[in-house]
Amino acid sequence: MYTVETPQEFELYALLRLKSALKLEVAGMKHSKGSVYAKVKKDFGFKGNKQSVLDQLIQHINNKYNQ
């Protein structure tokens, strides 16, 4: 088991949660609290369809945490 302790780990956890939820939306599932796709587009300023926004989010995570 892994414990999230630092602010950077909390941020990474939140991004990975968004990535997982957006993957499910791309596959056709819906979220009861609204679109994760719309939230990611709004929060990060990404443009495009669900798949391209997911790709941009993955690239953002990789750029930020795999340096």
pLDDT digits (tens, 9 = 90+) for 31-63: 888 999 999 999 999 999 999 999 999 999 999
Domain count for the chain, please give it: 1
11 in a structural domain: yes
> What is the spatial distance between Cα 33 and Cα 57, in angstroms, rounded to a whole number?
20
60 in a structural domain: yes
18 in a structural domain: yes
| Domain with 38 in it | 7-65
2 in a structural domain: no
Q: How far is CA 43 from CA 4, 17, 46, in A?
A: 23, 14, 8
Position 67 confidence tier, pLDDT thresholds 50, 70, 90: low
1 in a structural domain: no
